[in-house]
Structure 1
């Protein structure tokens, strides 16, 4: 039996009136968190995080069923069916992402096979992710994140909270931490120890780091991290393409899927070559599973945005979700000699007066660059994916063109 017991995935789910819009938003947030947690479980060989992935996967199953029930109740005419068909595709794709994330987590829980030195080969830029249970005597219990000011003080972030069976996926300043909350913490390893001990009252015991016994393992881990980042970006862009009915973003999702497929092929080839020289080739079996699951996630992202590419009008339930948010993701092509050409970018922020944050760059000669991983310089011909307000997006596009 794995560390995740008491599975209730077969429990009956009865129809209850729910906001389909709210369910879709929660499915999006859940899918993105699942990708993050599942890969982190593998990279850090962390069974506790992998078990949380399976709990979250179970939550996604419930959300999927409720979304399907709500959509079926909403169909009143052939026109409704035409507009809701892509929304059903979004629901199915989110479930595919959830299942793929579960498969990744099981690589850890079922000991399918992973090199013990994965953690040792992690790039320095990858932050530590740990699971903690808040003790009733903790200084954090009963206080909001704003009161604790954790990130400013330590650099450690609470990326999600689980309270019993309920998840708080986007904890903000007003989120109050209570005793027995399961808090997922991410930040610099040097700061994690103090925060973990303050939250749990127990000493933090970092896992033993094995010496790499497989040649070029660092390159394999770098590839896994890149595949993770591209998969997360693909899902984010896919939902944004749907929410804003943006065909250009949907096309970039397809470009990302092509890149992930190429990475998967190279990664599998590396794994097979490494197996020939490994003392125990079975320890590499999980890497094959990882590559296959990654491809499922990128394919699902394409499925989410398929309705946009087929020019099917966005259903009002999706439009309502857009109207509540002023933040958008946009795609611009940098013109030669424009205001962005030659601009330095640090941590996503371009050295201009623009308030847009650059998430990624697609450079025809180099492929995808995830800006959060490294500083970069914008060049003419680059395709930029950026996030910000609608007003800032208009100014950003003008800057890219002139």
Structure 2
């Protein structure tokens, strides 16, 4: 058996002076990648992706210990303890996300049981995530991402590379692709098929799609995909609430967590109803595990923003760590008569002079709308969660005011 499928490594970790900021940056990036990889492993029933999740989970365990050691060394008095307590909460939350992602991966590796209907959820995703080993003869080998210009040419992004035991998270333009790198690609079908083949020398076979044959099961699968999307959004918002010390964003994290909790109750009910009619109810066990792990991730998002909700000062080291992100997430409320009132949003792009991308809307009476799922027209009272640059975010906020 692959050792990664058994117990996590118990290799000793000794204290060494490390930058808390750098550790927090890596923990944040690792947590986000873990969520991405674990759900993709389930949706694609991909054991290779699941094993990568366990490798990353092991790395996160080391980062969590390093962060805890450094924070303990930094506490000299009660004031230090009060200021660093929220940082410890962020570290613990990232660890919880890592554990939940590992549990999701084990659904695949331990064959806990998943219905074929899970694959029917794939068309709902606008992009696919795949893992491939770089072939020495690939035209991409030895070139930087800037030289390849992959995203501009194909829409496919290299979201991470693993080089032996070293992880390169969020690779930049100067990152070189080397032979035998394990590359993680995200992009639209069928562009990703072509890029995968050029990178690895092996044709990529998209998973076969089978429509669910039980109405309750179809509802359960649709719900778990929606829960997954809301939980990812909650983690993004949580880190942004810390960056801006924004109680408004932290409250939206709490709103999302309440929504995920409610959805989990409905999801469990539909799954149990489907089990009564399913030929093999045992095949639904993985869905229950998936629902529980997804709820853990949304709870962890609340823990990340807990310091903001309790009006504790955000330690500068945390803000510096979150600032490493190239993009920010903003929250604005559409006022009646503003430039955004009545504006159409198509695939996240609002019909106004702005480079901001709307990723979610909380609409009074309707709950959360994930804009990637449908086109909408903005209404007064809509709370928009958007992604873009700081400058664009400030301009977008002015468009929401009457």
TM-score exceeds 0.5: yes
Which residue of structure 2 aligns with residue 90 of structure 1? 90
Distance change (3 Å), C-alpha of 1:5 and 1:255: closer
For 2:123 and 2:202, locate their aligned partners in 1 and report how far apart those are by CA, in whole Å: 28
Which residue of structure 2 aligns with residue 75 of structure 1? 75
Offset at 1:194?
2.0
Offset at 1:347?
2.9
Matched residue of 2:295: which SS? helix
Matched residue of 2:314: which SS? coil
Which residue of structure 1 aligns with residue 293 of structure 2? 293
Distance change (3 Å), C-alpha of 1:243 and 1:265: same
Offset at 1:38?
0.8
Offset at 1:190?
1.9
Which residue of structure 2 aligns with residue 226 of structure 1? 226
Distance change (3 Å), C-alpha of 1:220 and 1:126: farther
Within 5 Å, which residues of 2 pair with 1:32-71? 32-71=32-71
For 1:79 and 1:94, locate their aligned partners in 2 and report how far apart those are by CA, in whole Å: 24
Deviates more, 1:94-103 or 1:122-131: 122-131
Which residue of structure 2 aligns with residue 199 of structure 1? 199
Matched residue of 1:387: which SS? strand
Which residue of structure 1 aligns with residue 184 of structure 2? 184
Which residue of structure 2 aligns with residue 309 of structure 1? 309
| Long gaps (5+) in structure 2 | none
For 1:203 and 1:115, locate their aligned partners in 2 and report how far apart those are by CA, in whole Å: 26
Which residue of structure 1 aligns with residue 130 of structure 2? 130
| Long gaps (5+) in structure 1 | none
Which residue of structure 2 aligns with residue 341 of structure 1? 341
Matched residue of 1:118: which SS? helix
Q: Is the 8 A contact 2:327 2:389 kept in 1?
A: yes
Which residue of structure 2 aligns with residue 383 of structure 1? 383
Offset at 1:281?
0.2
Distance change (3 Å), C-alpha of 1:17 and 1:185: same
Q: Is the 8 A contact 2:115 2:284 kept in 1?
A: yes
For 2:292 and 2:6, locate their aligned partners in 1 and report how far apart those are by CA, in whole Å: 28
Q: Is the 8 A contact 1:334 1:383 kept in 2?
A: yes
Distance change (3 Å), C-alpha of 1:354 and 1:211: closer
**Aligned residue pairs, count:** 402
For 2:386 and 2:341, locate their aligned partners in 1 and report how far apart those are by CA, in whole Å: 15
For 2:335 and 2:130, locate their aligned partners in 1 and report how far apart those are by CA, in whole Å: 43
Q: Is the 8 A contact 2:333 2:383 kept in 1?
A: yes
Offset at 1:201?
1.5
For 2:82 and 2:255, locate their aligned partners in 1 and report how far apart those are by CA, in whole Å: 27
Offset at 1:208?
4.2
Within 5 Å, which residues of 2 pair with 1:271-282? 271-282=271-282
Q: Which digits, 9 at most, give the CA deviation of each residue in 1:120-139, with x for residues without a partner?
A: 34335442222100011111
Distance change (3 Å), C-alpha of 1:123 and 1:208: closer
1:140 paired with 2:140, answer: yes
Q: Which digits, 9 at most, give the CA deviation of each residue in 1:140-167, with x for residues without a partner?
A: 1111112222223323222211111111
For 1:371 and 1:211, locate their aligned partners in 2 and report how far apart those are by CA, in whole Å: 24
For 2:316 and 2:192, locate their aligned partners in 1 and report how far apart those are by CA, in whole Å: 44
Distance change (3 Å), C-alpha of 1:342 and 1:88: same
Distance change (3 Å), C-alpha of 1:197 and 1:3: farther
Q: Which digits, 9 at most, give the CA deviation of each residue in 1:25-63, with x for residues without a partner?
A: 111111111111111111111111111111111111111
Distance change (3 Å), C-alpha of 1:322 and 1:8: closer
Which residue of structure 1 aligns with residue 270 of structure 2? 270
Offset at 1:6?
8.4
Matched residue of 1:257: which SS? helix
For 1:342 and 1:14, locate their aligned partners in 2 and report how far apart those are by CA, in whole Å: 58
Matched residue of 2:190: which SS? helix
Offset at 1:182?
0.5
For 1:327 and 1:158, locate their aligned partners in 2 and report how far apart those are by CA, in whole Å: 17
Distance change (3 Å), C-alpha of 1:7 and 1:162: farther
Deviates more, 1:93-102 or 1:126-135: 126-135
For 1:243 and 1:145, locate their aligned partners in 2 and report how far apart those are by CA, in whole Å: 29
For 1:167 and 1:197, locate their aligned partners in 2 and report how far apart those are by CA, in whole Å: 22
For 2:39 and 2:74, locate their aligned partners in 1 and report how far apart those are by CA, in whole Å: 36
Offset at 1:356?
2.5
Distance change (3 Å), C-alpha of 1:395 and 1:197: closer
Distance change (3 Å), C-alpha of 1:400 and 1:317: same
